[in-house]
């Protein structure tokens, strides 16, 4: 067990209490500062820039533990920790010296290429409108996906880059009234002709590892999946824990016994626990395999990459249904404002993200078909 996981567990009740006080407001500054002091935002970051660079399963554990305490806190942590790790690994030294001059900073931003960039001698001039800047209210730096135009007269394709600029140069627009993950403060934001030095950008699909160990060869898609899997697993675990606590005293209408003593409830709980454990095991299996391949070959295996992403999709969709079933089993208790209801809202908000979408599922199915023999018994 790492000191960061120990710290995350020690902070569980503190983060939960702050979430109760915040309600649907922004994530508590106390929680953010507590996670920062415990080095949780640096769990994935290269050691060369002051991060912990934990093994990926340990990173997953930290994200899961904080998400168990509060989905919004876990979401902001995984968004900030992954974003800052990418710039720490993939950006040129001249910029990294500036960004990490005071240690691992807080960062937020949207990867989607919603902006356009024009190269100038001093860097890339970025203009764009972005959404879902989770944790931007406490961030020092803000990232933005950018399509950079080729030189005039060139037939080269657009470059898809991720850039980062100081938050002071970003217009934060608000607009975050939502069903769940309310405290992530995932505000809309805009950049209007903001200059990002070339050294403060990297190619999104094929970044060059400049710092950090071999798992940074896995790239943005796999490393981002670690965060989304940890979020889904943590929120599902919290919902099951809340259901178990409720079952010890809850008596449903027309029943003479508490919920935990009913065979129907016991059967349902056993199935939900099994589904949770199975989805968690698959995430860990695929992630460990991808990391070991990266260590052995210093490259990414595309099939393993797809499996990590699909395991994340599966964990998220399983978490949605597990929490839905927990919500139903708890009866009217879950109808009222409660920690279980917060899990219900947060997982449904998280299920709308790209990393819970269909692309990895389709890609994995194609991989399976491409690798299949003519006869079922020839495999």
Among 177, 175, 180, smallest CA distance to 70 is for 180
- Average pLDDT over the chain reads 96
What average pLDDT does this structure show over 148-170? 93
- Residue 228 neighbours by CB distance under 10 Å: 25
Alpha-carbon distance of 8 to 258, in angstroms, equals: 33
Average pLDDT of the segment spanning 134-163: 94
pLDDT bucket at 237, cuts 50 / 70 / 90 = very high
For strands 159-166 and 141-148, give the pairing: antiparallel
For the whole model, what pTM was predicted? 0.97
pLDDT at 23: 92
Residues 6+ apart with CB under 8 A from 203: 159, 160, 161
Three-state DSSP class for residue 259: helix
- Residue 256: is its pLDDT beyond 80? no
User: Is the pLDDT confidence value at 105 over 90?
Assistant: yes
CATH of domain 108-203: 2.40.110.10
pLDDT at 155 over 90: no
pLDDT bin (cut points 50, 70, 90) of residue 79 is very high
Write down the architecture of domain 214-371 according to CATH: Up-down Bundle (1.20)
Q: What is the pLDDT of residue 72?
A: 98
Tokens of 85: 């790790």
Question: Which tens digit of pLDDT belongs to each residue from 268-296?
Answer: 999 999 999 999 999 999 999 999 999 99
Measure the CA–CA gap between 332 and 339, rounded to whole angstroms: 13
**Cα 151 to the chain's mean position, in Å?**
35
pLDDT greater than 80 at residue 24: yes
Q: How far apart are CA 59 and CA 294, in angstroms?
A: 16
- The share of the chain scoring above pLDDT 70, in percent, equals 100
Give yes or no for residue 254 having a pLDDT over 80. Answer: no
Residue 130 pLDDT level (bands cut at 50, 70, 90): very high
Annotation: CATH topology of 3-99: Butyryl-Coa Dehydrogenase, subunit A; domain 1 (1.10.540)
- pLDDT tops 90 at residue 376: no
Contact criterion met (CB below 8 Å) for 193 and 125: yes
Q: CA 153 → CA 148, 150, 299, 347, distances in Å?
A: 14, 8, 35, 48
Quick: pLDDT tens for 40-58.
999 999 999 999 999 999 9
Burial class (CB in 10 A: 0-12, 13-18, 19+), 112: middle
- Structure confidence at residue 96 (pLDDT): 97
**CB neighbour list of residue 145: distance below 8 Å, 6 or more residues apart:** 110, 111, 112, 113, 114, 115, 128, 130, 160, 161, 162, 204
Give me the pLDDT at residue 192, please: 98
Residue extents of the structural domains in the chain = 3-99, 108-203, 214-371
In the predicted model, what is the mean pLDDT of residues 161-176?
A: 97
Asked whether the predicted pLDDT for residue 255 surpasses 90, the reply is no
pLDDT tens sequence across 309-351: 999 999 999 999 999 999 999 998 988 999 999 999 999 999 9
Among 253, 239, 238, residue whose Cα is nearest residue 334: 239
> What is the band of 252 on the pLDDT scale with cuts at 50, 70, 90?
confident
Cα 180 to Cα 178: distance, rounded to the nearest angstrom = 6
Q: Is the pLDDT of residue 8 over 80?
A: yes
**How does pLDDT run across 110-124, given as a tens digit for each residue?**
999 999 999 999 999
Looking at residues 157-171, what average pLDDT do you find? 97
DSSP one-letter code for 334: G
């Amino acid at each position: 067990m790492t000191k960061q996981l120990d710290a995350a567990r020690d902070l569980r009740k503190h983060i939960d209490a702050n979430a109760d006080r915040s309600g649907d407001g922004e994530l508590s500054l106390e929680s953010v500062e507590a996670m920062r002091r415990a080095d949780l935002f640096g769990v994935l970051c290269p050691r060369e820039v002051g991060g912990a660079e934990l093994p990926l399963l340990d990173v997953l554990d930290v994200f899961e533990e904080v998400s168990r305490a509060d989905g919004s806190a876990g979401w902001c942590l995984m968004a900030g920790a992954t974003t800052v790790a990418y710039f720490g690994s993939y950006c040129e030294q001249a910029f990294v010296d500036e960004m990490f001059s005071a240690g691992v900073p807080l960062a937020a931003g949207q990867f989607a290429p919603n902006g356009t960039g024009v190269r100038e001698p001093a860097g890339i001039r970025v203009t764009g409108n972005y959404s879902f800047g989770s944790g931007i209210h406490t961030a020092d730096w803000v990232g933005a996906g950018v399509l950079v135009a080729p030189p005039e007269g060139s037939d080269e394709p657009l470059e898809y880059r991720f850039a980062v600029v100081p938050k002071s140069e970003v217009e934060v627009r608000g607009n975050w009234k939502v069903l769940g993950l309310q405290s992530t403060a995932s505000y809309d934001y805009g950049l209007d002709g903001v200059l990002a030095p070339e050294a403060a950008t990297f190619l999104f699909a094929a970044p060059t590892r400049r710092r950090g160990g071999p798992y940074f060869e896995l790239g943005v898609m796999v490393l981002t999946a670690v965060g989304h899997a940890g979020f889904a697993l943590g929120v599902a675990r919290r919902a099951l824990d809340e259901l178990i606590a409720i079952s010890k005293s809850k008596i449903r209408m027309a029943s003479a016994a508490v919920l935990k003593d009913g065979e129907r409830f016991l059967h349902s709980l056993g199935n939900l626990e099994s589904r949770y454990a199975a989805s968690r095991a698959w995430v860990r299996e695929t992630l460990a395999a991808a990391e070991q391949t990266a260590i052995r070959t210093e490259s990414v295996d595309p099939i393993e990459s797809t499996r990590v992403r699909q395991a994340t999709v599966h964990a998220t969709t399983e978490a949605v249904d597990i929490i839905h079933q927990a919500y139903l089993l708890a009866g009217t208790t879950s109808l009222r404002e409660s920690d279980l209801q917060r899990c219900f809202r947060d997982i449904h908000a998280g299920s709308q993200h790209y990393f819970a979408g269909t692309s990895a599922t389709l890609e994995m199915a194609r991989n399976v078909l491409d690798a299949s023999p003519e006869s079922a018994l020839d495999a």
